Structure 1
């Protein structure tokens, strides 16, 4: 009875703010939760950022994007890159001010309220889980390219291609996700080291592609440059934006990073500069080496381009192997990010406590196994184009909220210590929000409908479980 009398009105419960500086609200309950270990320095963190982004789309996305924009897909990458850069600056400021696990979920909780934070979390889970599945699908394509080039045979299409593209169950994609989940159970330090080595391989492979493709560059392939006008450029930018997602995975590692106020903003900015440069070079090399119409339906696109321009098997063989390693690192890092978001939510009481229980290696083991199994099913059963567009939608909504969060936090807590501040405030967060909305509008109507269904399901869970079990609710009820 007393708890009912003390309960706040619904709107106040939905929009209540979590103050991360309050040690009472951040306390660890013995026996139910544990501490993550701070074992990641700046350069492993930069590698984590690069590893989570490069491979998320560049190895497979030209096949989807070039038919929409033609050679002007280079401008689509620039447009998506500008949006990502603006969002990255906003992430950097919030990460330096609120250096905790949970990425934009935690930032929204500190600025816009619990209900908004839960919606953002649902977007992040969509972004991370679905993007991992999308990338894993691409891994299966490159595995077949490797087997065909090196040994003259391939896996049956029914078990190696995504549904909707000749496949029934994408077994290689499922195996990849489960392997990454097993590696994550070893610990954050070991996973970061493995990722750093794989990032070096992927950068070397993309450098090989750029050099060989530029050797076959033909300016006639760039004409007509924008056959579908700026509408095509915008549509392609919306669909390839998922190529830029992942840098926010850096901020999910906040509780495992040394000196997070300094290292997280630096890692976000450095990783995005490297990624944007590489993407533009690869896109320009690709459209210069091959006529735009040949990209339609082309599997393992970059490896196929190398095979065509060299007339030999070894470049494509090497590239396919490198692409498989690259995509492995993306799946590893993004899967890691999703588990840490669920960890942060469980600490707040928003999802069941099993998601924040850690083992003796400092790893949320049950969380990792559940996420791995769920994402493996997505990778095996859902068509690629649906995965890519849903990823973009979830990402853009989360980025929009972060942009707004920067302005809200500046207004509510102007004296809060920040290791980094966005330049040209308030222009930068305003432009970031506007660019995100522009790309959202460019997504297909089917994507928007599926996203609304996802958010609706998330809100049902929030009102059925989270609003009753959040740490803020329990603290208020306790008086």
Structure 2
């Protein structure tokens, strides 16, 4: 697709990826485990989020490629490491999308007071919308997400406007009732809230000019930081200790307005947060799959695209996997829970993010950029260790990938995700294809 993403659409996709359905419940859960000290966890993670976003933006601007973090990893550490990273993202997304759809559906039915039986149907509809949007192509899905993201930002602003005047400073004491351990638990819980930057890295080759990658990252980071900070402060200052006792904390924040439309607004927010984030993750995963197929890590038949270079075969593969996971979750709801799927997803993405930051620390030209990436990598390592047993999921994927025979060299003249083939390599001004610029499988 030629010239598919400008700065505005890049901001939309980035904000939509980071502001996922977790924002509906994570601030309240963080207050439950850490008390008002959850604000410290938020501050720390937003600082880490800034380092992650700027590191990936710098890599994407310098090395635009649909392979995203996997492509960066290939440049820094070789083909086999890149194969593992690409498969982490590719296998993580179906689980995360299903978890988000179920969580969003539950929130919607709770906000509207609908029967619990409606939850499954709502989740299925959300999944259908997400994959259908990606089947029509990135250009149309980005237009859809432009509207979705604008509405959900407006909803959050409305919530903060209503709740802000009711913040009570007395609710901030005692500040750390659960000590340092509580803050650590809050960090582990909230890491899901800053996931998304690694997904937008896969869209770097879709931008019309590499400089737009940085601009989109800075703008989206600003929006995310402002909204998350406001939501965290309002959750602590308005709900206090009661935050963790409700399944619909945003509804409670709107309670002072005492309007009958509050339930409808929150139900809409649940749907929009779920769909907006999932669209970007599926788009990123499909493009990662294209890179994996091109390098013979996935079947080469999946490297085929239509006339518009959209990876629809990978979208269908992802949809099939998500359907299977959703069916298993419906059949065994007490075993395959939303929390389990979300924590597997978070563990996978933590590993993807860590690999990307390690690549940034090695590849970026400026010492300040490398230092920022190294600091972020250390922070993500600490967070990843908090995933404990859920790290088995990325470990299993890594073992399976590394046990395969060494993949063949990439196919000749791969389809460009940007549609126009060559892109300027800003290192020397020459024109190189965004995939073959990786130098192939070594």
1:49 aligns with 2:3: no
RMSD (CA atoms): 2.7
Do the aligned partners of 1:112 and 1:408 also contact (CA within 8 Å) in 2? Answer: no
1:155 aligns with 2:115: yes
1:282-302 C-alpha deviation (Å, 9 max, x unpaired): 111112111324414x22321
1:291 aligns with 2:291: no
Q: TM-score under structure 2 normalisation?
A: 0.85
Do the aligned partners of 1:346 and 1:356 also contact (CA within 8 Å) in 2? Answer: yes
Instruction: Identify the residue that residue 272 of structure 1 maps to in structure 2.
Output: 221
Q: Specify which of 179, 182, 196 is matched with residue 129 of structure 2.
A: 179
Q: Could you tell me how far apart the structure 2 residues matched to 1:114 and 1:198 are?
A: 37
| CA-CA distance at 1:359 after TM superposition | 2.1
1:72-106 C-alpha deviation (Å, 9 max, x unpaired): 22221111111221122221221122101011111
- Give the direction of change, closer, same or farther, for the CA distance of 1:214–1:373 in structure 2 (3 Å limit): same
Q: Specify which of 308, 322, 325 is matched with residue 375 of structure 1.
A: 322
Do the aligned partners of 2:409 and 2:441 also contact (CA within 8 Å) in 1? Answer: no
Q: Specify which of 63, 70, 87 is matched with residue 105 of structure 1.
A: 70
Which secondary structure state, in structure 1, belongs to the residue aligned with residue 189 of structure 2? helix
Instruction: Identify the residue that residue 423 of structure 2 maps to in structure 1.
Output: none
Instruction: Identify the residue that residue 143 of structure 1 maps to in structure 2.
Output: 108
1:459 aligns with 2:399: yes
Instruction: Identify the residue that residue 471 of structure 1 maps to in structure 2.
Output: 410
1:217-267 C-alpha deviation (Å, 9 max, x unpaired): 2223222221112221122112211111112332212332211x2111221
Q: TM-score under structure 1 normalisation?
A: 0.79
- Give the direction of change, closer, same or farther, for the CA distance of 1:457–1:393 in structure 2 (3 Å limit): closer
Larger radius of gyration: 1
Q: Could you tell me how far apart the structure 1 residues matched to 2:116 and 2:103 are?
A: 16
| CA-CA distance at 1:425 after TM superposition | 4.1
Aligned pair count? 410
Unaligned runs of 5+ in 1: 1-35, 149-153, 161-169, 415-420
Q: Could you tell me how far apart the structure 1 residues matched to 2:324 and 2:155 are?
A: 29
Runs of 4+ in 1 over 6 A off after TM superposition: 475-479
- Give the direction of change, closer, same or farther, for the CA distance of 1:378–1:401 in structure 2 (3 Å limit): same
| CA-CA distance at 1:398 after TM superposition | 1.8
Q: Could you tell me how far apart the structure 2 residues matched to 1:179 and 1:337 are?
A: 16
**Pairing of 1:357-436 with structure 2 (within 5 A):** 357-379=304-326, 381=329, 382-410=336-364, 424-436=368-380
Q: Could you tell me how far apart the structure 2 residues matched to 1:336 and 1:376 are?
A: 17
Q: Specify which of 73, 81, 91 is matched with residue 56 of structure 2.
A: 91
| CA-CA distance at 1:472 after TM superposition | 8.7
Which secondary structure state, in structure 1, belongs to the residue aligned with residue 71 of structure 2? helix
